[in-house]
Chain A
Amino acid sequence: MSQPPLAPGRDPAAPGAVPDLPRTPASGSDEVGPDLAVLLARAARSWWTWGVVAALLAIVLGTWAGGGLEEVPEEGLPQVPADARIALGPYDVAIQGWSISREYDADMLEIVDADAWVVVAADLTGAPPRSTTYKSDSVTVSSLETTAYPRIVDPVSGDYVGYLHPGVTTSVLILLPVAKADAATLDALTTLPALLTSYTYTRHVLSGEETWLRPQARATVQVPRDDTVVPAVEDDA
């Protein structure tokens, strides 16, 4: 059977012939883009897809089995007396009292952009196996966002307390910087609802370092107000 004659200029071998351009499907055609059904079928056959799905499921189920990301309700925690000595892992804590101050270390208040310190007086006794530094969430106040990390200082000298040593009790002031609105609310309280968080000494899964990890809400304390815990501020003038 003979071929139909080509239109003038359509013979690819002919001199000056115009090559075929890629075909662009007409608008609305079924041929537009890759077929979604084909892509889904191909993905369903890939072990990568099912591997990622299985890994995600394992993460979700593991998180759920481990207690989930939900905050531990404080209602379920034991409430301990304020002066009781509670083991938090790296150290034991015994809280003496609390107050609020806008005058104590006023320069630092400005630096941390706070209106006042919630001052918590406590005794911290270090635990084996080694000296440690204070964990910022060991003593917090329920439902309170501080403007910066707490500072712990010596009640007499006002110096920053670095290390807490095993078997050694160190009296400290825990200074929690709070914003103006929170300061006004807290100032009206006679007892401070404090939340204690403990840590476990374990090996870090990535670095292998043995240290205090895995924070866990441990107990709540209703701390009585005691304005004498704030050291007198000397007027430089």
Chain B
Amino acid sequence: MSRRRYTPGAVGTGVALLGVVLLAGVQEANREVIPTVATTIRGTAGEEVTAGGTVVEVGEAWSTTVVEQTDDITDEVERAETPVSWLVVRVSWSGQREPSAVPQYAWRDADGVEYSPSDRYGFRYQEAQPGEWWHEDVLFEVPVAAATAGTLRLLPEGRDWALPMEVGEITVPDVVAVDEVVLLPTEPGRG
């Protein structure tokens, strides 16, 4: 009757496999759990709301049919009209513990319909240092009824965002109707 013997190669392979299993177990036990369900932090215009590492404050909001903006590169002044309504929301932000900005904005009207910013809104993703403030005008094109009141949503970049998923919702109860708005560029300071 023959007897099986373990060769050095077999022993080495077994030890290596065992090591991989142990390392995978250690890695899994120490893995940081990143929540995939978003937490919603709510506030109202005029209040500071901290979501996703950014402190955000909505100042004023206007509805109009004419906006005027200056091209960053050519310095040309452009006027844009709409048969519906431009909604301009002035937003200030600051980093909470590290340089930060809001990756995405959305406007939700009273009926729950959600609007992305207009293509005319020049998104810059300007990060602000902790304690330093920047501000800009976020521009939406919406039906007239959606530009009277609503909620500005502060959305994270994606589901695997490094920070815990936090969505900010800032209620804007009053939107002021005006004839025309001159859009501010993204600038340092509180708007």
Contact = CB atoms under 8 A, between A and B. Distances in A.
Interface of A: 128-131, 159-163, 165-169
B142 A130 contact: no
A160 B141 CA distance: 16
B113 interface: yes
A162 B119 contact: yes
B114 A131 contact: yes
29 contacts: A128-B111, A128-B113, A129-B113, A129-B114, A130-B106, A130-B114, A130-B115, A131-B114, A131-B115, A131-B116, A159-B119, A160-B119, A163-B117, A163-B118, A163-B119, A165-B115, A165-B118, A165-B142, A166-B143, A167-B84, A167-B113, A167-B142, A167-B143, A167-B146, A168-B82, A168-B84, A168-B143, A169-B83, A169-B84
Residue of A131, A159, A166 contacting most chain B CB atoms (<10 Å) = A131
A160 B115 CA distance: 18
Contacts of A169: 83-84
B112 interface: yes
Given A159-B119, A162-B119, A168 B141 contact: yes
Contacts of A131: 106, 114-116
A129 B142 contact: no
6 A-B pairs closest in CB distance = A167-B143, A131-B116, A130-B114, A163-B116, A128-B113, A162-B119
Contact of B115 (A159, A161, A162, A166): A166
Contacts of A163: 116-119
Interface residues of B, number: 18
Given A165-B118, A168-B84, 7 more contacts: A128-B111, A129-B113, A130-B106, A131-B106, A165-B116, A165-B140, A168-B142
A161 B140 CA distance: 14
Nearest to A133: B116
A130 B141 contact: no
Residue of A129, A130, A162, A168 contacting most chain B CB atoms (<10 Å) = A168
Contacts of B112: 129
Contacts of B114: 129-131
Interface string B68-100: 000000000000001110000000000000000
A130 B108 CA distance: 9
B4 to A, nearest CB: 17
Contact of A130 (B82, B113, B118): B113
B82 to A, nearest CB: 8
Interface in B121-175: 140-143, 146
Residue of B119, B140, B141 contacting most chain A CB atoms (<10 Å) = B119
